[in-house]
Amino acid sequence: MSDISLSDLAWITREELSSHMLGSDAAPQLPDHIAVIDVRDSDHIGGHIKGSTWVPSSELDYKTPELVRTLKDKEVVVFHCALSQQRGPSAALRYLREKRRLDPQSKTEGKGEDAKKDEKGQKVVVLTGGFTQWQEKYGADKRLTEGWKKDIWEFGY
């Protein structure tokens, strides 16, 4: 059994993530050191965070080892689903546990507000409120959101 649990997960707000994306002088984009993994399934329609990678939660069983390998050089990995209540946090846990399985020497430090950071400096966090909260504030902002469809979201999730 893993010693990593839901209470160990760290969170990032939509404002914190957007400030990273808007922080450069260049055109707004996801910085190279951050990866955003969207684990929504069919509810992925209607928009997504610009630069995010869509990995449906139904595919996580076999895609998590690949994610660990491809994201190893990222400083921050952000997971989210629609509300970040179940699929997003579960995906973050699965990712952390797979990292531990593939590299048993890798220990993680910090709890709760102290972002989970392993010895190689990677933080794994969950987007507070998921895409639902994100799109409430940034859905129409084409600098931060791609493919947003107002009519899908206007009556809530």
Q: Are 88 and 39 in contact (CB under 8 A)?
A: yes
81 is known as an active-site residue: yes
Q: What is the pairing mode between strands 108-109 and 116-118? A: antiparallel
In the chain the beta strands, taken as DSSP E runs, fall at: 10-12, 34-38, 48-49, 53-54, 76-80, 108-109, 116-118, 123-127, 145-146
In terms of Cα–Cα distance, which of 94, 104, 107, 123 is closest to 10?
Answer: 123
DSSP 110-142: --TTS-EEETT--EEEEETTHHHHHHHHHTT-T
| Dihedral pair phi/psi, residue 94, rounded to 5° | -60, -45
Return d(Cα 139, Cα 151) in angstroms, integer.
11
Q: Which of 81, 91, 92, 125 is catalytic?
A: 81
- Catalytic residue annotation: 81
